[in-house]
Structure 1
Amino acid sequence: MQALYKFLLLQVLASLGQQALGSEIIKGKNANKKSMMYMASVQNKMGHACGGFLISEDYVMTAAHCDDWKPESVVLGTHDLKKVNDATMRYSIQKCKHPSYKKLGSGSDIMLLKLSRKALVGKKPIQPVQLPSGEINPKTYKKCKVAGWGLTKTGGTAVPKLQVANVPVIDQKTCQKLWKNKLPANVTCAGGYGTKTGFCQGDSGGPLVCGKDVAVAVASFNNNKTCTYPNIPNIYTDVSKFLPWINRILRKKKC
């Protein structure tokens, strides 16, 4: 059964590498076991499909285009996808996709996943990450990082342990120029340019975490599925631009 799981996981990630503009971690390292305990693995019948992150006891945030992979559950509380206790770590979900989202690259690439039961907020090992309190300029942060599971190079192999890498934020004018003014509104650019670090296939929906663990953006897409950096900046959805929508769902506890 374990061999079958490994085979199926590799098949899924290979498929992601050919079909999705994606997001796994390039030139990263294993995350500290006691850090980033808000990270979530968004999964379908085949296993890991996208990244995500816990923002409250009821909700995980991810990218709207992750719905293309038909996710059914999220896994919380582990950095190692080989060590998942379904009874305590797996949560079925209700999907709340942003109403303005149409397709990858069109903007509003953000989705909330309501958990079937409350996560153990305040009890180790699960902890929610902080969101911005208002609109921010990520460039004001000196240190940002991105994390996720999956491929570690273009066409590479999957890794079951959470990877994390530091990434620089790219100013908007430079990013727009490099992308030839084809970027949607409300995005943040970080990694992939001027550095060998960034994301790749397999972890869209993971957070861009800046400062003292503030999730400022959601991994959305890179340049033409190519993860050999330096290249062109990776694109994230700016969380601060969607705070009214997010807070309304968290308050009402429904989409």
Structure 2
Amino acid sequence: MHGLHKRLLFHVLTCLVQNALGGKIIDGDKAPENSMLYMVSLQNIRGHVCGGFLISEYFVVSAAHCDHVNPTRVVLGTHNLKAENTMRYIEKKCKPPSYENVGTGNDIMLLKLSSAVQLNERVQLIQLPKTEISMKDGEKCSVAGWGMTETGGAIVDDLRVVDVSVINLEDCKKTWQNLPANVLCAGGYDTKKGFCQGDSGGPLVCNRMAVGIVSFNRNYNCTYPNVPNVYTDISKYLPWINKILEEKNC
């Protein structure tokens, strides 16, 4: 009976977190034009589907579960998705061999671009941690993305950003009860601030460094139940990331 309970709980969690696609920032503000020049929109034939961020001239980081909606190109160099921008096709998608689905973790993906991106006043890189890090409880960070700003609202074209605080991982585990390994928690807990269905693949930025990747929240509720937002902990994947960047392949 215990095994059945665990399987049912895992199934429910998986169904809930798979609703994290789309891209919404709740209780945020329009991002200043000269900020977050590393932000990337992953798109398919219907348009924006996930967020991402540029870490080298050839590679964008996003969430592995974003591959489920088949992004084929990335858009950079703009906060408004209808404005003039830089576009690159996705040449290759690199996911950890252990990735199965968002509920089991390892929710990280590197996208190799069809050609190098020219860095300029509109397109810049964001730093990653250099070693494995431990985030401080209550540390102030930010998350950004494109999309709806309330449950059932309309999609917006302008990049939006919101401040969130890091939540103690043990407290996060107690509220979720069944978290995958190698995650961070921030926002969406006793607050209306955070990400909603989406911004999947976007960065959790602390001290001008990308430390997390938007992975999942709970269902389509943008008024935030008492569970934290969950991010992939980038610092746990640095050897894998650095090997791909060095070889320009996976």
TM-score (norm 1): 0.88
Q: Deviations over 1:49-82 (max 9, x none)?
A: 0000001111000000000000000001000001
Distance apart, 1:142 and its partner CA: 3.1
Q: Deviations over 1:164-186 (max 9, x none)?
A: 00001000111000012x00000
2:18·2:216 contact (CA, 8 Å) conserved in 1?
no
Give the structure 1 partner of residue 69 of structure 2: 69
2:137·2:168 contact (CA, 8 Å) conserved in 1?
no
Say which of 152, 157, 160 aligns to 1:160: 157
CA distance 1:56–1:18, shift in 2 (3 Å): closer
Residue 139 (structure 1) aligned with residue 136 (structure 2): yes
Distance (Å, rounded) in 2 between the aligned partners of 1:252 and 1:112: 13
**Gaps in structure 2 of 5+ consecutive residues:** 1-15
Q: Letter of the aligned partner of 2:226 in structure 1?
A: N
Residue 220 (structure 1) aligned with residue 215 (structure 2): yes
Residue 208 (structure 1) aligned with residue 201 (structure 2): no
Q: CA RMSD in A?
A: 1.7
TM-score (norm 2): 0.89
Distance apart, 1:231 and its partner CA: 2.8
Q: Which is worse superposed, 138-147 or 18-27? A: 18-27
Distance apart, 1:99 and its partner CA: 1.4
Distance apart, 1:100 and its partner CA: 1.1
Q: Letter of the aligned partner of 1:186 in structure 2?
A: N
Q: Secondary structure at the match of 1:215?
A: strand
1:151·1:202 contact (CA, 8 Å) conserved in 2?
no
CA distance 1:54–1:18, shift in 2 (3 Å): closer
Give the structure 2 partner of residue 43 of structure 1: 43
Structure 1 segments (4+ residues) deviating >6 Å: none
Distance apart, 1:19 and its partner CA: 6.5
Distance (Å, rounded) in 2 between the aligned partners of 1:140 and 1:20: 27
% same residue: 58
CA distance 1:151–1:141, shift in 2 (3 Å): same
Distance (Å, rounded) in 2 between the aligned partners of 1:35 and 1:252: 30
